[in-house]
Amino acid sequence: MMPARDFDIERIRADFPILSLQVDGKPLIYLDNAASSQMPQPVIDRLVHYQTSEHANINRAVHHLSQTATSAYEAARGTLQRFINAREEREVIFTSGTTEGINLVMQGWGRKFIGAGDEIILTVLEHHSNIVPWQMLCAEKGALLRIVPIDDSGELRIDAFEELFSERTRLVALGHVSNALGSINPVKQMISFAHARGALVLIDGAQAAPHLTVDVQALDCDFYAFSGHKMCGPTGIGVLYGRAALLEAMQPFKGGGDMIRTVSFEATTYNEIPHKFEAGTPPIAAAIGLAAAVDYLSAIGMENIATHEHALLAHACKQLRELPGVRIIGTARHKAAVLSFALEGVHPHDVGTLLNLEGIAVRTGHHCAQPLMQRLGVAATSRASFAFYNTLSEVDALVDGVRGVQEVFA
Ligand SMILES: Cc1ncc(COP(=O)(O)O)c(C=O)c1O
């Protein structure tokens, strides 16, 4: 696939001050975007504007600044609603990130509706943040986890997924895109299968929202969680989408200010959604920054982003495949911009350390997916993950760097 014609990579790169950094005299080549992406100037400017002219606590005061901050915060919710095509603004809850979104569903829905003997389906591809909360719930309630396996390419075994269902299946919690392998899972098809069997579906969209068009109505998912810092926004902010009727039926996750309607020592009544789930002072600036990030991505176009990143991935895979001793881990037919690989006879940490000497930032380790590493029979991988601001020549530099690592260990 060729990059879209109106996709001006040099203009885009000029928006990201950090991309002109040098690391030990070498230009930074930032290929750790699946962990955290970088922030463009318009998002930085929006944060500065908020802090210098709009900041006050929201929801509580009649004064000018509080009203300005409240309007900006609620406008950010609207921007996020449109970005994922949620039906209503109140279906968008600001969280601290994907991890908190999943924990919110575990605490708010799981602790109320899951009982002994109920079953929750996960996949072997999951990030720890979509495993551990469900394990904690199962330990508390006596519920059971069922795990969808993968084939050797890193694709989910849909036949096995369908066989895991029983009359006790209550929830499927699965990633849209694998952070370790890049596999794009057929979530729409899986959601429709789960619904036909009466189970709800939570999608961990941490690695999808930065790279694909996400339409929660088209997917028909029940919950969808993602993080701002992986999509050019600030850290400490994310979104949990939930169907309004489900959110209304859930119990709050945290108690405190703003999430209540009335409080007495005898009883408390809760606020309406989304406020029921946003106790205390939220990360106001970060939410507004995330909306600016989403506006930035939308102006480039998610389709253009996906097309460019696909070209980077294809270019990288083609060249790495030609190098003897390099094994690409994760060869699913549909992949997002994640490239895990292993070099024969070289520990991934050495790969990361030597690439760093060339200014190239990749991630090495288990990628918070230890069960997946066990399934693959490796302790760790090296992972390059691309963003729309990466270039084909940066991919070439990665390949040269890998060649250099092989020479050191030859
Ligand atoms: C697939 C996936 N899920 C969840 C998370 C957790 O995201 P956060 O740390 O922003 O909560 C990550 C982060 O790497 C991820 O890649």
Q: What share of the chain is helix, strand, coil (3-state, %, to 5)?
A: 45, 20, 35
What would the two tokens of residue 173 be?
A: 């919690």
How many angstroms separate the alpha carbon of residue 253 from the centre of ligand 1?
20
Residue of 138, 221, 317, 368 with catalytic role: 368
| Ligand 1 pocket mutation pick from 98, 124, 340 by most atoms within 8 angstroms of CB | 98
Atom 12 (ligand 1) nearest CA:
206
Structure tokens at 7: 């996709």
Instruction: Check: CB of residue 4 under 8 Å from CB of residue 308.
Output: yes
Ligand 1, atom 9, lies closest to the CA of 99
DSSP state letter for 272: P
Q: Is 120 helix (H, G, I), strand (E, B) or coil?
A: strand
DSSP 228-270: GGGTTS-TT-EEEEE-HHHHHHSPPSS-STTSEEEE-SS-EEE
Nearest atom in ligand 1 to 204's CA: 3
Q: Is the dihedral of CA 312, 129, 361, 351 positive or negative?
A: negative
Instruction: Give the torsion sign (CA, 393, 399, 404, 405).
Output: positive
In this prediction, what percent of the chain has a pLDDT beyond 90? 97
For residue 137, which of 107, 163, 181 has the smallest C-alpha distance? 107
Q: What is the mean pLDDT of residues 162-181?
A: 98
Q: Which atom of ligand 1 is nearest to the CA of 177?
A: 1
For residue 35, the CA-to-ligand 1 centroid distance in Å is: 8
Helix (H, G, I), strand (E, B) or coil at 302: helix
| pLDDT score recorded for residue 1 | 41
**Atom in ligand 1 nearest the alpha carbon of residue 97:** 11
How remote is the CA of residue 203 from the centroid of ligand 1, in Å?
A: 12
Q: Which atom of ligand 1 is nearest to the CA of 230?
A: 10
H/E stretch holding 355? helix 348-357
**How confident is the model at residue 261, as a pLDDT?**
95
pLDDT per position as a tens digit, 335-376: 999 999 999 999 999 999 999 999 999 999 999 999 999 999
Provide the percentage of residues in the chain whose pLDDT is more than 70.
99
Ligand 1 centroid–CA 271 distance in Å is 29
Report the alpha-carbon distance of residue 394 to residue 392 in Å, rounded. 5
For residues 408 and 410, give the distance between their C-alpha atoms in angstroms, rounded to a whole number.
Answer: 6
Write the residue with the smallest CA distance to atom 15 of ligand 1: 206
pLDDT of 3 above 60: no
Q: Please report which confidence band the pLDDT of residue 5 belongs to, taking 50, 70 and 90 as the band edges.
A: low
On the question of pLDDT at 330 being above 90, the answer is yes
Q: Band the pLDDT of 60: cuts 50, 70, 90.
A: confident
Q: Say if CB 120 and CB 147 are below 8 A apart.
A: no
Find the 163 Cα to ligand 1 centroid distance in Å. Answer: 28
Q: Band of the pLDDT at 61, cuts 50, 70, 90?
A: confident
Residue nearest to atom 7 of ligand 1 (CA): 98
Q: What's the whole-number mean pLDDT along residues 381-389?
A: 98
The whole-angstrom separation of Cα 181 and Cα 166 is 29
Calpha distance 363→352 (Å, rounded): 7
Which residue has tokens 């009544």? 269
Mean pLDDT over 298-321 rounds to 97
Locate tokens 């600001």: which residue?
94
Query: Closest ligand 1 atom to the C-alpha of 368?
Result: 14
- In the predicted model, what is the mean pLDDT of the chain? 97
Asked if 237 and 287 touch (Cβ cutoff 8 Å), the reply is: yes
**In this structure, are residues 324 and 363 in contact, taking their beta carbons and an 8 Å threshold?**
no
Query: Which DSSP letter does residue 198 get?
Result: T
Contact 365/345 with Cβ under 8 angstroms?
no
Per-residue pLDDT at 406 exceeds 50: yes
CA 97 to ligand 1 center in whole angstroms: 8
Distance of CA 267 from the midpoint of ligand 1 (Å) = 36
* Radius of gyration (C-alpha) of the chain in whole angstroms: 22
Q: Sign of torsion, CA 298 238 308 42? A: positive
Considering only CA atoms, which residue is closest to atom 14 of ligand 1? 35
* Inter-residue contact 19 to 394 (CB < 8 Å): no
368 labelled catalytic: yes
DSSP label at 32?
Answer: B
Closest CA to 126 of 368, 378, 391: 368
The string of DSSP codes covering 43-86 is HHHHHHHHHHHT-S-SSS--SHHHHHHHHHHHHHHHHHHHHHT-
Cis peptide before 274 (omega within 30 of 0): yes
> Best mutation site among 179, 224, 290, 366 for ligand 1, i.e. most ligand atoms within 8 A of its Cβ?
179
Longest Cα pair distance anywhere in the chain, in angstroms? 73
Cα–ligand 1 centroid distance for 99 (angstroms): 6
Residue 6: how many CB atoms within 10 A of its CB? 8
| Closest ligand 1 atom number to CA of residue 235 | 10
Protein residues with CB under 6 Å of any ligand 1 atom: 97-99, 127, 129-130, 175, 179, 204, 206-207, 227
The pLDDT of residue 2? 46
Select from 321, 344, 317 the least CA-distant residue to 333.
317
Write the DSSP symbol of residue 179: T
